[in-house]
Amino acid sequence: MNMQAISIAASQIPQLPAHHLDADIYMVMPATDMTAARRAAKLMVERANFDKAILLIAEDTLSEGFVSIANRCFKTTRSPYFGYVAQDAFAGRSWLQKAHHAIQAQDTGLLGFNDGKWSGRLAAFGLGRRQWLQNNYPDASLFCPQYQYHYGDTELTALAMGNQQYSYDPNAVLIEVDWEKDRKSVDPQDKKTFAQRKQHWLPTRMKHPQILEMFN
């Protein structure tokens, strides 16, 4: 059986049925526009080419933000691999099969999808190995909980690259289709938080802290 998609309100994440938690790969899609999310999810499911995988569309009914929802889903599930994606993704053929093969073959903690923008320099959409992901933060979060909307993926990518735990396969395609993206600004508080952590916390958690020069 191919990948399955489940739609729930984000507040219901802790109540996920036990049989859904046993997937090999769990991906979360925090969503504010359920029409767009379901359209993206339909193609992702059709093109995943991977069994025992769940795509959770979690509607952000309480304006929690991407980071909080992704973290709660990560802590509730127990799949060996866990990924995150947004409602504006456009899936390439066998996107999940190729990502899973690449992260296994390269034996890394995080894989960045080809999102059509960052050329592998940022896992804006990512797939990670839970064993590595759960050891980055004291509370075993996926993303640093100090962020709300932005920079969680940036910091996670930096941690992976700085510890030689990052991989990229240009054939694992999840294109970000946001027509207004280049005219949008990032959350100023999240940007400030990352700048502070880049100076103090992050360098102490990396074998190669010079990699931080890549990130702003």
Bridge partner residues of 83 (DSSP): 27, 127
Q: Please report the domains of the chain, with CATH numbers, ordered by start residue.
A: 4-214 (3.90.550.10)
Cα angle 65-66-67, degrees, rounded to a multiple of 5:
95
Q: What is the DSSP string of 128-168?
A: EEHHHHTTSSTT--SS-TT-SSSSHHHHHHHHHHHTT-EEE
3-state secondary structure of 119: coil
187: tokens are: 């959350």
Res 1: pLDDT? 56
Res 19: pLDDT? 67
pLDDT 10s digit of each residue in the chain, 216 long?
A: 589 999 999 999 888 777 666 799 999 999 999 999 999 999 999 999 998 999 999 999 999 999 999 999 999 999 999 999 999 999 999 999 999 999 999 999 999 999 998 888 999 999 999 999 999 999 999 999 999 989 999 999 999 999 999 999 999 999 999 766 555 567 899 999 999 999 999 999 999 999 999 998
Which of 122, 204, 202 has its CA nearest to residue 168? 122
Edge-to-edge, what's the strand order for the sheet holding 110-114? 4-9, 53-59, 25-31, 81-84, 126-129, 110-114, 166-176, 89-91
| Burial degree of 8 (CB within 10 A; 0-12, 13-18, 19+) | middle
Residue type present at position 105: A
